[in-house]
Structure 1
C-alpha cells in the first residue's frame, strides 16, 4: 500500500477498480505479508511456529476480544519490546472512543495505520470530486481538533487516532489539491484548547464565507458542537470581524499568531453587518446555508451512534447532502462510502482489501463458519474481525455489519449496531440498535411538538426495586432563540410511552410482571452533554456513550436534571 497523492484522477479511478475487482487475491496476499512479517513475534510464534499458511492461521489462531490480548498490549505499554506483538515497531497507542460503555481501550499502532489513513483520504478525494461538481473551486471549513497527548509508561504517545494523523508528516506534507484546502491555518487545528480552537475555526470560516464549499468534522457530534459555539458566540465573532482583531481571551499562541494573518487587522464592517443580520433571525433553521451561500455538502460520519444527530444537522443545514465519508476505528481503517450523496439511512461502506485482513462471523446459522471478505453474502449480518500490520490478530471489533451489495467484487456494508448489550435490568437485553429505535420513536413525538433532540444517553438504574431504564434527554425549542425550555409534561409522557412500546418482548414481559419498573425520562439543562464531553480523555473523537457507567458522568447528568417523567401505564 503506497501513497496515491501524486496520482491523477484517472489513475485513482483505475486503482479503485483494481482494488474492488481483485478482493480475494489482495486479501490473501495481505494476510501472507502480515504472517510472514510477524512470524517471529511472541504472539504469532505461540500459535503458528513460524508458518505463514492461511490454513494454519484459520485453524490455530484464536478469535479474541480486547480483554484477551490486553496482557500482551500492557507489556508493550509498560516498556517491553514491540516484537511481543508486532515486527514493525509500535510508535504510539490510540485511545479508543469507547462508544458503548464509555470505557477506553489502549490500541497499539504504528506508521502503517497512518499510511492507510492517508491512502483512504486520497481515495476519498477522488470519489467526492466525481459526485460533487465545483467543489474544487472553494475551501473546506473543517473543525479538526487535536489535544495534548499523554505518555505511556514506556514513553510512547497516547492520543486519539485523528489527533495522531493531524500531527503526523502525512498531514503536514499533504497534497495541495482542493480536498486539503482549508479556511483554518494548521495552527488552529493543532491547538490544545477546544473552546479557543472552535472559536477560531468559526472566525476563519466566517471571514472567508464566500469561499466555503464544504463544512465538516470527523463525527456529526463535533459539527453539532461547533454550531452550538456559533450560537453562543456569534455576537463576539461579529465584533472581531468588525474590528479586524481577535478577542483577548484567545491565549493560545499558535491561534493568535495565525489568526492575526487571517484577520490582518482589517476592519470588515459590511461583512459583520451581513452575518449579524443572519444570526439575529428568530429561527436558526437553515442557518448554515445562509451564512455560507456557496456550500455544497456537509461532511461527517452520521452512521452508528452518530445517526441520532441527523435531525439536528438537517435542522441547521436544510437539505444539504450529509456525506458520511469513511468507516474507521482505532483498530483499523475499513473503507469508504463510494456513493457520498446517498441519504443517511442508505449509507454503506465499501471495505478496501489492502488496509487490513477482514473476517466475518455470521450472525445466523453456524457461528463456527468464519468467512473471508470475498465470501460474504448479500443481506446477511456478521460480526467483524480484524488482523492488521500493527499487532492485532483475529480481533473482534464489536461491530455488527450487514452486506447491502457489491461494488465489482468488493462487498458493501451497512453498520447495524455495536455487538454488546447496553441496557439490562433482569433477563432483558437491549442493544444499541433497539435503543436507537426507541429514541427515534420519542424523537417523532418531540418533532411534532416543535422540540428538537440535542443529545441523549441511557442508564440502567438498579438503585430502586424494581430497576428501570433512565433516558437522559437534552432538548431545545425549535421556535425559541432563548436557551430555556418550557417543559411540557404531556409531551414527555408520550415519549416514555412511545419508547417502551418500541422495546422488545422480553422487556415488555418484565414490565408486565413487575420485574422492570417504568421507563424514566430525565430532561437535562442546555449544555449538559458538552460538560459530559469534558470528562473524556479522547475528545478528538469523542462520542456520547450510548449507556453511561461512569460515576463522574452520572454526577454531571444528575446535577443538571431539570425534570423527570415516568410512563405510568
Structure 2
C-alpha cells in the first residue's frame, strides 16, 4: 500500500508476457502451499466436494508426486474442484460449537492445528451467522495481513497519535478439551478485524485483564476502550480520549459510517466531552463498568486542553472543524467506496478537503480480498495474490467452475464474482461479491478492481430483479432533493394492492421543495435502467416507490440495536441494502419523519 505522499502508477489495460508468466507462477506457488499444507485437514480428507480432487490426485501417482509438478497440480485442481458454498462447510465448522468441544474432533479441522480465532459474519441481513475458523500462517503467506495491520496503525515520524477505534470484544470463547480434560487453547469467536488484531499482536484471551490496563504509546485511547460492548459508549470514549490529545494525526474506524457516527457524537455531545476533559471525569455510560477504573487511570484533568477546545468551539458552519481541533490530522482510515460512499460529503464537512480519506482494503470474514491501490481514488483496489487463490466467475456465464477465469485472463471492463480458495481451508468458495476489472498493476500484474455489489443482494416484487448497485444509482438521482442521503435501505411495500419499493433514507440536511417528486423520479430512473422493471411496472405489477425520510441518527441507532440483538462487537454492523424481515422494517417505520 502506498503512503499518503506516494502514488502508484496508473493501471495498464494489457498484461505483458512477463507479467502473465509471473502471475501464473505465483498462483501455482500459492496453490502448492495450500494443497500441501491443508491436505492433512479433516475437511480435505472427508468432504464430498473434494472427492473428485482426491481421486484425481491418487490417479496421478499421489500427492507428493504431483506437488513436484506445479503445472500439473494446477490443471488437476482446475478440472476437479467445483464451486462451494457455506453449506458445504457447516457440518465441519459446527464441530467447534459442540458441547463439549473435543480437541480430537476439531484439531486439523480445516487447516493444521487449532484455529487462533473464529470469525463470525455480522448476520445483519437477517440470515444465520456464518463462522470461519482462522489459522496462524507463516509470514510469507500472511503478507496482506501484515500490510493491512501496518497501514492501520502507523508510527508517526512527527510524534503524532492515532485514534484506533477497533473492538477487541468477542461473542463467546470456544475451549476444546483434550483426552485429559485440559483446555488447550481459548479460541475467541469475534469479528474478523478483532481476531486479526489479536493474532497479529499475539493477544490471547487469557491476558485480556492485562491488556485493559495498557495504552499503546502512539494511540490516543487506552486498550480498555476496545473492550466496551455498547456501541455509543464505545464511540464516546474513543472520541473523549482523541479530543484530549491535540496531536492526533490519524483516525481509524474501518468503515466510513462508523466514523460518521463518531463525528456526530463529538458534534452533539461537545460540551459534555469538554467538561470531562477539564475535570478528568468519565460520565455514566452504559456497559463500561468492567473497564471504568482502567479508563479513569488514563483520563487526568486537562484544563488547558479544555480551554483550547472551548476557544475553538463548535465550528461546524464551515468545512474542516476537525482540523482546528487536531491541526496535525492528516488521515482518516475508513472504507468509503461502494455502499459507504454516500456518507462521504458529511465526513468532508467535518474533516475538510485536505485530510486523506484512506481505505485499507476489501477485508471480509472469509479472507483479505484486496488492498487499497490509490488514496486519490478510494474505489480502486488491488487484488491480493500472495495469500489465497483468487479466481473470477464471469457474471454472464453459467455458475460453474469450468467457466472460472484466472487473474491473467480477466478482461478490463468486465464484471466477475470473486471465488476464493483460502489458507484457512475453503475451496473455490463463492464469496458473492461482484467486482469490475479496471486494469492491472504494471509492477506485478495483479488486477485492479472496482467493488460493485453483492451478487445475491437484490429486491424482486414481480418478475424483475433490481440489484444493490441499481438501487444505489437510483437513489443518487434524488439524493440532493432529499437533503443529501447519507444512508439508506430498501424494503418491499405491500400496503397497497400493487406492491412497490420503499426507500428508507436518512438525509444529512433538510429536504427541499422538490422532495415530493422523488418517488416519480426514482420510478422513472428504474424504468430507464432496468428493462424488466419497466416491463413489470408498465404491466401494473409494480407501483411508484415510496420514500420514507428517517430522523437523523437512525442508522447509528440501528447499529447499536443490532449489536445488542446479535451479541456482536462494535465495528462490523452494516445497514443491509435490502430489508426483508418484518422486525427491522417495523423498527424503521417507527422512526419515519415524513413519507412521500
Query: For the residues of structure 1 that align with 2:585 and 2:217, how far apart are their CA atoms?
Result: 40
2:279 is the counterpart of 1:240: no
2:372 is the counterpart of 1:337: yes
Aligned match of 1:150: 172
Aligned match of 1:506: 532
CA offset digits 1:165-198 (Å, max 9, x no partner): 3444626599xxxx98321122222333333222
Measured after TM superposition, the shift of residue 142 of structure 1 is: 2.2
2:357 is the counterpart of 1:326: no
2:79 is the counterpart of 1:47: no
Q: Is the 8 A contact 1:113 1:332 kept in 2?
A: no
Measured after TM superposition, the shift of residue 500 of structure 1 is: 2.1
Of residues 398, 408, 415, the one that matches 1:374 is: 408
Residues 107-506 of structure 1: pairs in structure 2 closer than 5 A: 107-112=131-136, 119-120=143-144, 122-124=146-148, 137-151=159-173, 156-168=187-199, 170=201, 172=203, 181-209=218-246, 211-249=247-285, 252=288, 255-264=291-300, 266-268=301-303, 270-281=304-315, 283=317, 285-319=319-353, 320-340=355-375, 342-344=376-378, 347-364=379-396, 368-407=402-441, 408=443, 409-446=445-482, 451-477=483-509, 490-503=513-526, 504-506=530-532
Assess, with a 3 A threshold, how the Cα gap between structure 1 residues 97 and 23 changes in structure 2: closer, same or farther. farther
Query: For the residues of structure 2 that align with 1:115 and 1:523, how far apart are their CA atoms?
Result: 49
Q: Is the 8 A contact 1:445 1:495 kept in 2?
A: yes
3-state DSSP of counterpart to 1:252: coil
Q: Is the 8 A contact 1:442 1:495 kept in 2?
A: yes
3-state DSSP of counterpart to 1:372: coil
Q: Is the 8 A contact 2:412 2:438 kept in 1?
A: yes
2:111 is the counterpart of 1:86: yes
Aligned match of 2:207: none
Q: Is the 8 A contact 1:197 1:255 kept in 2?
A: no
Assess, with a 3 A threshold, how the Cα gap between structure 1 residues 112 and 441 changes in structure 2: closer, same or farther. farther
Aligned match of 2:48: none
Q: Is the 8 A contact 1:400 1:418 kept in 2?
A: yes
CA offset digits 1:86-129 (Å, max 9, x no partner): 34433432221356x34354232223379799743543577799
Measured after TM superposition, the shift of residue 245 of structure 1 is: 2.6
2:55 is the counterpart of 1:29: no
3-state DSSP of counterpart to 1:316: helix
Measured after TM superposition, the shift of residue 276 of structure 1 is: 3.1
Assess, with a 3 A threshold, how the Cα gap between structure 1 residues 356 and 406 changes in structure 2: closer, same or farther. same
- What TM-score do the two structures reach when normalised by structure 1? 0.83
CA offset digits 1:24-57 (Å, max 9, x no partner): 3222112122122222445433332273532222
Aligned match of 1:4: none
Of residues 34, 59, 78, the one that matches 1:58 is: 78
Measured after TM superposition, the shift of residue 432 of structure 1 is: 1.0
3-state DSSP of counterpart to 2:403: coil
Query: For the residues of structure 2 that align with 1:443 and 1:87, how far apart are their CA atoms?
Result: 50
Report the aligned-residue RMSD. 3.3
- What TM-score do the two structures reach when normalised by structure 2? 0.79
Aligned match of 1:532: 558
Assess, with a 3 A threshold, how the Cα gap between structure 1 residues 231 and 247 changes in structure 2: closer, same or farther. same
Q: Is the 8 A contact 1:401 1:413 kept in 2?
A: yes
Residues 11-30 of structure 1: pairs in structure 2 closer than 5 A: 22-30=22-30
Assess, with a 3 A threshold, how the Cα gap between structure 1 residues 115 and 383 changes in structure 2: closer, same or farther. same
Assess, with a 3 A threshold, how the Cα gap between structure 1 residues 315 and 170 changes in structure 2: closer, same or farther. same
Gaps of 5+ in 2: 1-17, 46-50, 58-62, 64-72, 177-185, 205-210
Measured after TM superposition, the shift of residue 306 of structure 1 is: 1.4
Measured after TM superposition, the shift of residue 153 of structure 1 is: 9.8
Assess, with a 3 A threshold, how the Cα gap between structure 1 residues 312 and 19 changes in structure 2: closer, same or farther. farther
Query: For the residues of structure 2 that align with 1:89 and 1:226, how far apart are their CA atoms?
Result: 37
Assess, with a 3 A threshold, how the Cα gap between structure 1 residues 427 and 250 changes in structure 2: closer, same or farther. closer
Gaps of 5+ in 1: 1-17, 478-484
Q: Is the 8 A contact 1:312 1:453 kept in 2?
A: no
Measured after TM superposition, the shift of residue 394 of structure 1 is: 0.3
Kindly tell me the number of residue pairs found equivalent between the two proteins: 523
